[in-house]
Structure 1
């Protein structure tokens, strides 16, 4: 049980909780927890599950802790093309389509782009072809000087916001691969020089485009209650207009690319959803 004890101690250290605090959360005693960490006591499956809950582990991390204790994983890890995930794929397609005329994407771990709606082209405008070769990395595309980076008017602040979000993820789930990746992304950013009115890095994206400067807010949705490792690791990132001018520009852009989206009488300006693009 040394492997389980080391894994449990590792996650307790990452979460910065004492044995006493974790024992209280999991409904056990500090003595029992100490014995499990030292390998003197073999944990039952139920206590492993409770410890995973108390530590806030992801499905993949929970599976790892169960395996370390000698138990079968609790969560399956299906391929995205597996028939069992068909309802999830169809739901994501509807969400992407329904977000038009604004850009929206589905992202795998490390920024790998899984799918995007038709409005995604506003983000790829003028990007170097090599950055658009599958698998597209959304974060690299966003900050690289041959990607969106050259068109982001506030790259220092907005780019730092992207990187700090990844750092927060790294703190919760240490990953050497993500550490190296963050270092690469930081190399694309100019030095920030906050002025007296600086409000931090949570700022709208100011993106130059052929339709003028667009101001975009981003929202990120995760599948926290997913029962499959693959689904739990997906994120839906949706871009929203931060002002009326941006909303109008994106709506007009969509109409130019597909005139059939023109609103019909009584439709209150609604646009017909476009196709979902899978890179």
Structure 2
């Protein structure tokens, strides 16, 4: 009976794994085929990968879009984890009734959908463009500023800060460290798994961000990779082989970051709920 149960368990897990992996495999295979082969549902690798890559590189701003996405994602990730961790650390270490009320209001902001904020945000950046064009419409700053930190990320760091030994704060104060010195020299090295998990979440979210960049970025040289893929699919007769190759290229950075930091990600996520 136990062997039969094990067979069913592995069969179910194998089926679930296949269903999860199949879309990615089909995407990679389609990147090697012509558009007509993709529409026919061909499941075998073709010989048009280099042709698709050459057309993608020559007919689009592929490298510019990748560079724009990389700059926005890396800068957003660095700024977000530093600012959110400072906020989460402060909310947990320096407890007061007023701070708890502010934190509760911050959590309530998570209930507001981003679609309700788009028009006010756009109007704000449009007004800023006249006096501060460096952070106005059609700039990297206009994409990063609304997403530099979120209520979720602050909540995530506060929950993880509950596991930080408070005795280390007192020890740092006795040794003469400033409050910022305690944060940067003790808290950050101790909570590196939390930073890894937060960094992965923020990087993937920023890299895949589509709606807000679509609204605020207007010139072709500022477009990110999700916008490039959207433009490829909006033509009268889209080349699906080209689109699949662009999607594969856009997927590789996030997949690489996740697999390289997978252990730290799991440890950081588990720490947030203990």
Structure with the higher fraction of residues in helix conformation: 2
For Structure 1 versus Structure 2, the TM-score category normalised by the shorter chain is: under 0.3
Q: TM-score, normalised by structure 1?
A: 0.24
Please state which structure has a larger fraction of its residues in strand.
1
- Choose between structure 1 and 2 for higher RCO, CA contacts under 8 A separated by at least 6 residues: 2
* TM-score, normalised relative to structure 2: 0.24
